[in-house]
């Protein structure tokens, strides 16, 4: 192994470490998400939790959509739908929660109020 490739790896490791500590400070109170788009669909969803990236399973009662700017999660629950919006203002590929709304189902009509 050459000295040049070793020093390049060390620099890359320092850069990765610096990015991770910057990310930890920005998202210490909430989780961050990153993903891949495959044929326009969100795939390979990952959540930053407890200091590391973890694969996130997309459940049958939820959908994840990328509208070109925001990552939108819709989760069907017994009494309505929860819609969570994640944004990436610094365009680093990591999305943080910016809003969460619960749309209850009207008991008598069986439809959403909103």
Domain ranges of the chain: 31-104
Edge-first strand listing for the sheet containing 71-77: 52-55, 41-49, 32-38, 95-104, 80-87, 71-77, 62-66
Residue 50 has pLDDT above 50, yes or no: yes
Confidence of residue 106 (pLDDT cuts 50, 70, 90): confident
Q: What is the mean pLDDT of the chain?
A: 78
Tell me the C-alpha distance between 6 and 26, whole Å. Answer: 30
- CA 54 to chain centroid, in Å, comes to 11
Residue 6 has pLDDT above 50, yes or no: no
List the one residue out of 14, 21, 18, 27 whose CA is nearest residue 88: 27
Residue 21 has pLDDT above 60, yes or no: no
What global pTM score does this model have? 0.67
Q: Using one digit for the tens of pLDDT, what is the confidence trace for 67-91?
A: 999 999 999 999 999 999 999 999 9
């Amino acid at each position: 192994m050459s000295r040049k490739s070793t020093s390049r790896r060390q620099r890359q490791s320092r850069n990765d470490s610096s990015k991770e500590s910057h990310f930890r400070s920005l998202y210490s109170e909430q989780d961050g998400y990153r993903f891949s788009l495959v044929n326009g669909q969100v795939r390979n969803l990952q959540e930053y939790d407890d200091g590391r990236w973890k694969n996130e399973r997309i459940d049958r009662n939820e959908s994840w959509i990328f509208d070109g700017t925001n990552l939108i999660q819709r989760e069907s629950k017994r009494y309505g739908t929860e819609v969570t919006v994640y944004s990436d203002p610094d365009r680093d590929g990591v999305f943080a929660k910016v809003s969460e709304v619960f749309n209850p189902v009207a008991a008598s009509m069986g439809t959403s109020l909103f």
